[in-house]
Structure 1
């Protein structure tokens, strides 16, 4: 009788434990990984920077800028907000854009350029929309001191 009870307890315990144990699932890749990691972010920033340079209404904002520093800062920022290993070391968005006179039309043009960049870089809609959503959160900071 004791043996049967022990066997039943062991079987029940085994069933309980097997229900708690789940098969390992592969972790969901970070947005950074979905963007292509370091090389992908660099390609996105390069493409985006050329688009800005080709836009006469936007390029004037960069007339007195160190473009190399801008590229590095934007790469860090995209890497950071997409859960990559980077830490953004540039100035806060409100300070970086203060008194530039950026309008909603300018901001929307930047968003359109980024969206087209992501499409042309073959970023799928899910990650593309995630990145655009995270960048959109910066709108208030960028526009706060205009």
Structure 2
């Protein structure tokens, strides 16, 4: 329960910090550009997946996963979510995660690993918060059938 409360608090903070992250600002680079474009998103996803592979709390969830497919899907998803030129063609978050048995602790571990990946790629705090703010509302979809 503590982990869930921590997640809600962090989510509220990130959404507040991201402001109008979904609104285009014609004088400012898009979130996709701030993440480094295609190369940046690829590097973030690669770092994230390395972090997950090294995390004993959650690596088991990916034991039978096609990592190449997962990496490509995550790149496409983050690209679209960050206003890049991609169109995510994968399954909904609810379908992709159904029956995985995720817990709040495992969800939080994924968020920790993503934050570490963003930091390792030197993504500035504003772009990190904006991306996490856009991902935070997906929590209910990811955890829907858990």
Query: TM-score, length-normalised on structure 2?
Result: 0.81
Asked if 1:121 is matched to 2:121, the reply is yes
Pick the structure with greater CA Rg: 1
Kindly report the root-mean-square deviation, in angstroms, between the aligned alpha carbons of the 2 structures. Answer: 1.3
Moved over 6 A (4+): none
Q: Give the secondary-structure state (helix, strand or coil) at the position aligned to 1:87.
A: coil
Structure 1 regions of 5+ residues with no counterpart? 1-25
Q: What is the aligned length?
A: 122
Alignment pair present for 1:39 and 2:39: yes
Q: 2:62: which partner in 1? A: 62
Give the deviation of 1:57 after TM superposition. 2.2
Q: CA deviation at 1:27?
A: 2.4
Deviations 1:69-116 (A, max 9, x none): 000000000000000000111110101100111001001111111111
Structure 2: where are the runs of 5+ without partners?
A: 1-25
1:64 deviation in Å?
1.3
1:76-87 matches, within 5 Å, as 76-87=76-87
